[in-house]
Amino acid sequence: MPYTKLLLLCLLSLAPALLWAQAPKQPVRLELEHEAETSYLEVLPLPDSSLLVYSKKYTSWLTDATFRIEKYDANLERVWSTDLDLKPETEYLRYFSEAPFTYMVFKAPKAEQFLFLRINLSNGKVQLTEHTLEKVEYVYEFNVLHGNYFLITDNDIDQKPALLYLNPNKEKPVILPAVYGSESTFSDLLVDPAYGRADVVLTESNGRIARLQVKSFDSSGKLIRNYFILQQDNRSLLNAEVTPGDTLNKLLFGTYGSRDLRYVQGFFSAPVASQVVDGQFYSFLQLQNFFKYMKPRREARARNRENARVAEGKEPTQRYRMLLHDLITTPTGYVLAAEVYFPQYRSGSSYLDPRIRSANRPATAYKRTHVLALGFDRDGILLWDNIFKLKDLATEELVHAVEVSNLPDGRVVVAYSEEGTIHYRAMEQDRFNDEETTVELLPYEEGEKITFTEYDSIVKWYGEHFAAYGFQRIKSAKGSNRTVFYITKVSF
């Protein structure tokens, strides 16, 4: 059974007054009776300030399992609960919300079989359909437009990504024309219900140069327009995010490189309809805070060295890989965030220098150095840049390690959860701050102690609120100890 409680702010009364005014609050906490060894849960924020909790509770040998979806309001009070009739081997993949429904994708036990759930958010009623997706093992993106599905998929056989359109009333999808060459891949998928359009950004490369292509489809999967975005001045366009809105005002925000297409040399913004990039380009040297993940003396040496190479017409020596986040639309423009990372390779029991590369040796981890946020106006002009230094933050797969959100007061918050501690940075445009900013998650009752946290994460929720969640072991001051799945509302 769930337990909720409004956390007393007096628990933080020992904090200094200045930090008290700036620290995020934890107004409410929810605890659910689950253990990590026999449960799998996902927290799915919804646009209306509520959230869904999907749970799968199973036996140790996966011979039986119970599935449930629960809706909670902004105060983490349960609104409704629905049990699902699924086979134990069923695996959750992705979700997407299009009012008044939330859609979920599951991998069925049978190969190439996938389940799609449509959940009525007002009452919890579920409609389930099963579809055959041939040559599909992975679903990387899932968007819904007017009740129809757009998916980016892949497999281990030919390792060629594909864009699928699926009418839920039909069993099989339609493969949309999107990827052509072996070096082509997807950069962004954005549905725009107001204009009845799904925009797909593709990166096309022949190994030496790269360009972008933007394809627009209607809600029935019909191709509306196709834009080829060509590079200029030996700049290859690597990846980009597209803005919502009408064609004439659509912009691309992304990264560019030069000779080695694995590495980013800067960022660009450009109109989609221009066909040729006649936009803005910003190298790392033009950014005020990009190199501040280094110590001051090292930053100064790096800038002097790179400026000298640019003056001599040489390529920069600094090499960076970027993982872009979805573009954030703000009242005055846009925020583009990117995680700067490098792959790590293991040989025996030790890590090799990441500069030693082998096409036959996959990375075993991806370590971050910092997160970069760029603020643009509505015309794509860069207004500010800022970073959040990351220490020893790595993921086994190349997935987002941090959450980024634009707050109503204009600040941009970057946050991640690690062992019950929220590490965050509240950016005020280009005002760089290198002070450690963390907050410990609070237990349910005063006097209790959190002794262990695992599988924890944090997601942006609504407004200035995030949802932190995971499994915790709690030492009680009076009663017996307990293990729970917690959800804590974190307000900045």
Residue 349: is its pLDDT beyond 50?
A: no
Q: What pLDDT score was predicted for residue 1?
A: 52
Residue 160: is its pLDDT beyond 90?
A: no
Average pLDDT over residues 428-441: 94
Residue 236 pLDDT grade (very low, low, confident, very high; cuts 50, 70, 90): confident
Residue 359: is its pLDDT beyond 80?
A: no
Cα–Cα distance for residue pair 156/111, rounded to 1 Å: 13
- Which of 68, 50, 48, 66 minimizes the C-alpha distance to 58? 66
Residue 350: is its pLDDT beyond 50?
A: no
Q: What pLDDT score was predicted for residue 182?
A: 64
- Which of 199, 207, 310, 315 minimizes the C-alpha distance to 246? 199
Residue 166: is its pLDDT beyond 70?
A: yes
Q: What pLDDT score was predicted for residue 356?
A: 45
Q: DSSP class of residue 431?
A: B
| Tokens found for residue 269 | 């913004």
Q: What pLDDT score was predicted for residue 3?
A: 52
Residue 347: is its pLDDT beyond 80?
A: no
365: amino acid identity, one letter: A
Stronger pLDDT, 298 or 262, i.e. the higher one: 298
Q: What pLDDT score was predicted for residue 209?
A: 77
Residue 207: is its pLDDT beyond 80?
A: no
Cα–Cα distance for residue pair 9/11, rounded to 1 Å: 5
Chain segment 255-290, per-residue pLDDT in tens: 998 877 889 999 999 999 876 656 799 999 999 999
Question: How many other CB atoms are there within 10 angstroms of residue 353's CB atom?
Answer: 8
Q: What pLDDT score was predicted for residue 235?
A: 84
Residue 159 pLDDT grade (very low, low, confident, very high; cuts 50, 70, 90): confident
Query: What is the length of the chain?
Result: 492
Q: What pLDDT score was predicted for residue 18?
A: 42
Residue 10 pLDDT grade (very low, low, confident, very high; cuts 50, 70, 90): very low
Edge-to-edge strands, sheet with 449-462: 3-6, 25-32, 482-491, 465-475, 449-462
Stronger pLDDT, 231 or 118, i.e. the higher one: 118
Residue 333: is its pLDDT beyond 80?
A: yes
Residue 2 pLDDT grade (very low, low, confident, very high; cuts 50, 70, 90): low
Percentage with pLDDT > 70 across the chain: 90
Stronger pLDDT, 55 or 3, i.e. the higher one: 55
